[in-house]
Chains A and B, each alone.
Chain A
Amino acid sequence: MAPYALSFLTFVIVPVGVALVLAFMQFDLTARDQIQYVGVRNFDDALKDAYFWQAFRATFAFVVLMVPSIVVTALAMAFGLNAMTTGRNTVRALLFLPGMFNVAVAGILWQWFYNGQFGLFNFALKHLGLPPQPWLSDRDFAMPSIVVMSLWWGLGGTSVILLAALQQIPRAILEAAVLDGAGHRALLHRITLPLLRPVLLFIVVTNTIGAFQVFGQPFLLTRGGPELATRGVVQYIYETAFNNYRMGYGAAMSWLLFAVIAVFALVQYRFLRRSAH
């Protein structure tokens, strides 16, 4: 246990402590020996920083689009897989495959699809006699495009988890309900969905936590553009800390994001738990 405990202490506990201290410091790597206690000024600055709010709106837009669409499509995939008469494991593996890709590879691939001039999607549209679309270059189009790519990338894992939960529902319960005259709808609403609720809760919470931390997909597809419309909080933290070397400010914003994530996770947990009864 000792070697792991040492590693855990050094690279988990200490960094959290450092991050906590840093959040109350002004520490700019560009200016020499400029480390100085500033109290809550970093947090104060963040709340007054228009770029921070803009980044927050972008992240929030991603969360709001991504979480419901992945939960609903994954649920549909799980039901579809469960009803399959043959080839279930093959289809399951194929749906899972994109998730094995690095975000860089997925990003390159989809940037090629979305490219305005040479992209595959616009090429297909042209062949169909339709006008090309500004998939990534329009403020309103960019985030939904990023969500579609993220769905392709992340759907498999979520579907597989839901399928496993679906297969765990005892057949006897479903058969008993059918004998009692329950129709398809009643079966779904009264039995299947309530029994899936714990797993759905898990899916919603983990996907929300993940979506709030989105970085790779917009960073690679749009670099946060157009006009910063897709620059999320993590990218703003990354740029603040590692392009502008404002470490204290970056750390403070990390804590703010963490706080928001924690609040959302707790609220979802409470809400979805309670509505189970």
Chain B
Amino acid sequence: MTKLGRNLVTGLMFLVAFLFVSPVGLMLVTSFKPESEVLNPESVIPRVWTLFNYRHVLGWAEEAPFGRWLLNSFFVSSSVTLLVVALASMAAFGITRVKAPGGGAFLGVVVASMMVPGQLFLVPLYLMLSRLHWLDTPAALIVPATAGGFGVFMLTQFMRSVPEAIEEAALLDGCSWLGVFLHVSLPLCAPAIATLGIFTFIGSWNDFLGPLVFMDSVRNYTLPVGIALYQTSYYTEYGLTLATSVLATTPLILVFMAYQRQIVESMASTGLKD
């Protein structure tokens, strides 16, 4: 391609990128508009800047406890992330280092299970969680989420690409398996664990169907379900629903900005592995 062509494409791509993020920008500025201006926009930039929407949203107490949803989401997503990282790294260590008998076959079953679409689990999980009396508690969103195969798959792949020599040396020096795991393998896998952690957190934060089905009372909703169901009641009050959206999205945007390269690049490599 000629230099001119490349420059034209570059300009065009910036335009596309602008179009892609403009809804986000619109959401942000519009959330600071009074409702009258939201419904009858004369300009993109608010004529009157107001915090009314945010004050109203954060002031919702009984019917839509926004702060409570935010806490629920944080609690659920952090717990899921910690547990997934802990369980998956232990399992990957058991398969690739301790070489537990049947580890390879187990990994095969785990990978095969990743092909089963999530909707199939909905009904049986609901019935099981109801038997456990976990419905409408955070446990319903946290504990089953630790069973996903992605983390184990990803970490075994990573550990296999790291030479075992260091761990063997540590074993020879009299270090226990536990010691090797904690002091050698985990630090070696830090980049992969960080990526897994970020992906798990985002996935859990954005889970919609799970909390929609397993949570019953308004105060136990996570953020996405809370705002989605309240969108129905505040249907046409777009200023309010946009403010809730901004508040629900900000933590993720911060995570994204901090780890942008890592997130985009690990996503990019998912297609290259097979």
Interface mask (B113-148 → A, CB under 8 Å = 1, otherwise 0) = 101111111111111100000000000000110110
A12-B113, A17-B124, A108-B228 known; 9 new pairs, CB 8 Å cut-off, are A3-B87, A4-B91, A12-B121, A15-B120, A16-B113, A104-B223, A104-B224, A104-B228, A242-B213
- Asked whether, in the complex, the Cβ of B231 is within 8 Å of the Cβ of A80, the reply is no
CB distance from A224 to the nearest CB of B (A): 14
B61 in the interface (beta carbon within 8 A): no
Q: Tell me, in angstroms, the Cα distance from A87 to B221 when the chains sit together.
A: 40
Pairwise interchain contact B267-A152, C-beta atoms closer than 8 A: no
- Choose among B127, B202, B245 the residue that contacts A109 (Cβ–Cβ < 8 A): B245
Given the contacts A8-B147, A16-B116, A18-B127, A103 and B95 also touching, CB distance less than 8 Å: no
A residues near B, CB below 8 A?
1-5, 7-8, 10-19, 22, 77, 80-81, 83-87, 89-98, 100-105, 107-113, 115, 118, 120, 123, 152, 155-157, 160-165, 168, 184, 198-199, 202-203, 209, 212-213, 215-216, 220, 234, 237-238, 241-242, 247, 250-251, 254-255, 257-258, 261-262
- Decide if A87 touches B120 in the complex (CB within 8 Å): no
Q: Give B residues with C-beta under 8 Å from A.
A: 1, 3, 5-7, 9-10, 12-14, 16-18, 20-21, 23-24, 26-27, 38-39, 41, 86-88, 90-91, 93-95, 98, 100, 103, 106, 110, 113, 115-128, 143-144, 146-147, 149, 152, 202, 205-206, 208-209, 213, 223-225, 227-228, 231, 236, 238, 241-242, 244-245, 248-249, 252-253, 256, 260-261, 263-265, 267-272, 274
Q: Using A213-B119, A216-B209 as known contacts, say yes or no to A90 and B267 having CB atoms under 8 A apart.
A: no
Least CB distance from A143 to B in Å reads: 20
- Do the beta carbons of A96 and B264 come within 8 Å of each other? yes
* Residue from the set A97, A213, A241 with the largest chain B CB neighbour count within 10 Å: A97
Question: Given A85-B10, A100-B202, A103-B206, are A113 and B23 also a contact pair (CB < 8 Å)?
Answer: yes
Q: Which residues of A contact B13 (CB under 8 A)?
A: 77, 80-81, 84, 87, 91
Can you sample 26 A-B contacts with CB below 8 Å? Answer: A3-B91, A4-B88, A7-B87, A7-B147, A11-B143, A12-B113, A22-B127, A84-B10, A85-B6, A86-B10, A97-B21, A98-B20, A98-B21, A98-B24, A101-B249, A103-B224, A112-B241, A112-B242, A113-B23, A115-B236, A155-B20, A161-B268, A184-B1, A203-B271, A257-B117, A258-B120
User: Are A105 and B268 in contact, CB atoms less than 8 angstroms apart?
Assistant: no
Q: What 8 A-B pairs have minimum CB-CB distances, sorted nearest first?
A: A1-B94, A18-B124, A164-B268, A11-B147, A161-B271, A4-B91, A15-B124, A104-B228
Cross-chain contact A98 with B268 (CB below 8 angstroms): no
Partner of B260, one of A93, A199, A262: A93
Tell me whether A237 and B119 are in contact (CB under 8 A).
yes
Contact residues in A for B256 (Cβ distance below 8 Å)? 93, 97, 100
Q: Which residue of B lies closest to A91 (CB)?
A: B17
* CA of A165 to CA of B269, assembled, Å: 8
Given A89-B261, A102-B208 in contact, is the A213-B144 Cβ separation under 8 Å? no
Q: Which A residues are CB-close (under 8 A) to B227? A: 104-105, 108
Whether the Cβ atoms of B252 and A101 lie closer than 8 Å is yes
Pair A102/B21 contact, Cβ less than 8 Å: no
CB pair B245–A97 under 8 Å, yes or no, is no
Contact: A1 with B91, CB < 8 Å?
yes
Beta-carbon contact of A105 and B10 below 8 Å: no
Closest B residue to A160 by beta carbon equals: B268
Q: Which chain A positions have C-beta within 8 A of B268?
A: 160-161, 163-164
Q: Are B123 and A250 in contact (CB under 8 A)?
A: yes
Once the chains bind, are A8 and B124 in contact (CB under 8 Å)? no
Write the nearest CB–CB distance from A13 to chain B, whole angstroms: 8
Cα A237 to Cα B27 with chains together (Å): 32
In the complex, how many angstroms separate the beta carbon of A234 from the nearest chain B beta carbon? 5
- Asked if B146 and A4 make an inter-chain contact with CB atoms under 8 angstroms apart, the answer reads yes
With A and B bound together, what is the CA distance between A107 and B245 in angstroms? Answer: 10
Chain B residues closer than 8 Å to A164, beta-carbon distance: 265, 268-269, 271-272
With both beta carbons as reference points, the residue of chain B lying nearest to A1 in the complex is identified as B94
Contact B242 A108 (CB under 8 A): yes
Candidates A22, A108, A163; contact of B241 at CB < 8 Å: A108
Residues in A with CB closer than 8 Å to B128 are 14-15, 18
